Each structure stands twice: as structure tokens, then as C-alpha cells.
Amino acid sequence: MKKKLLSIALLTAPFVFFSCKKADVTPVQNASSGSNRTEYVQIINSDNGGRGIRRVDNCLPTEVNLIAGQTMIAGTVTVTNDAEYIYVTYTTTGSWVLTQTHLYVGACNLIPVNNPGNPIPGQFPYSGTHNNITTVSYQVPISKIPVGSCGCIAAHAVVKELNSSGGTIQTQTGWGQGTQINMGSGNWGMKFDYCSCVPEP
């Protein structure tokens, strides 16, 4: 009986120490696990400096290809949400890696553009510089596309294709596949629609 009580105490202990705070809106770089399954998690910061994760399972993800150089599939951009955050995950495939990401989430007509109407990734509100990683995630306040409403996501990246020795074969601009932001120009920057789902209680 004592062993049984000790086992229960050990299993529940990790959940007792996390007094949750809202996570910061910063990129969360995930190490590649070698698994083909994408895990959607919320990073939870505790009062005592610890960190934990919570699965986000209520909403089915929206996934589009990450297109490099207009014609090559370099990975995916996956989006889901819970009641507090929208989660956007860039994941490369094959020998492609990420060196930069720039992300816009919100009203379609507010994507930062220049006078001719071409997107300006450097002015997107979320961005990161990366050292040849395969996955990066952003969490964005749900207020950008409130639950039950729709908006746009513009997911820009700079990607590299590496050879077996880690040398660079090519560097390309990448976008989450969708429709051209400026339909009247040669700039191929893209956006795609996202509707925030209503999470189950």
C-alpha cells in the first residue's frame, strides 16, 4: 500500500509545482525529434522559473507547403489555436533548413506592404534569425484573429538547402503557400487564410 501511494505521489508531483503564467510571444525553437508527427504545444513558464508544456489538441491544424524559390517544396507551415494563442510552426523537410523567419498574423488588409503593394517581411511583427534549424514555432495572441473569425497569415522564410557535408547548395526565399499578396506585380510573396476555431472546453 505504501508503494502504491508513493507511486501516485511521484506521478502527480510534476503538476503541483507549475503555477502558470502566460508565455511570452517569442519564437520557440524545437529540436528535431526524428518523428514525422508534429506536436503542438504551449510553453508554460512557472513562477519558480521552471518550464512545462501543454498539448494543444482541440483544434485541427491548417497546413500549407513552405515554397522555396517559387517552385520547390521546402517544408510546411502549420497553424492551430487554443483560447489564448495562435500557434504557427515552420518545419523544413529533406535537406532544407531555416535561417530566418518573418511572420504576420491578423487582418488581411493590414499586412505590411510598400507603395506598389509588395509585402515587406522586415516589418512583420514576429521574426527570428536561426542557425540552420528545421523547426521554429511562434505563439501569437488570439486577439490577432479572434476565436470564430478569419484573417490572414503571411509566413516568410529564408531557407538553405545543404549537402551531406553541411555545405550550402542554395539559399532561397520561402513563403507559406497561398495567394499572391500583390496580384498586380511580379513579387510572389504569399498569404493564406486562417479561421480561428472555437476550442472545446
What DSSP letter does each residue of 51-93 carry, written as one string? EEEEE--SSPPEEEEEEETTTEEEEEEEEEE-SSEEEEEEEE-
Please check whether residue 7 lies inside any domain of the structure: no
pLDDT tens profile 65-99: 999 999 999 999 999 999 999 999 999 999 999 99
| pLDDT single digits (tens) 101-145 | 999 999 999 999 999 999 999 999 999 999 999 999 999 999 999
Average pLDDT (57-61) is: 69
Q: Has residue 8 got a pLDDT over 90?
A: no
Beta strands in the chain (DSSP E): 20-21, 28-29, 41-46, 51-55, 62-68, 72-81, 85-92, 96-106, 126-133, 135-141, 150-162, 168-176, 179-180, 190-195
Residue 131 lies inside a defined structural domain of this protein: yes
Grid look-up 534569425 returns 129
Rounded to the nearest 5°, which phi and psi values hold at 17? Answer: -85, -5
pTM over 0.85: no
Confirm whether 118 is domain-assigned: yes
**What letter does residue 96 receive in the DSSP assignment?**
E
The answer to whether position 22 is within a domain reads: no
Cα gap 198→58, rounded to integer Å: 8
Whether 53 is in a domain gets the answer no
121 is in which domain, residue-wise?
Answer: 58-195
In a domain, 70, yes or no: yes
Q: Quick check: 19 pLDDT over 70? A: no
Percent of the chain with pLDDT over 90: 66
Listed residue (156, 157, 159, 164) closest to 132, CA to CA:
159
Cα 197 to chain centroid, rounded = 16
At 22 the pLDDT is 32
SS3 9: helix
Residue 185 in domain: yes
Domains contained in the chain, number = 1
Q: Is residue 89 part of a domain?
A: yes
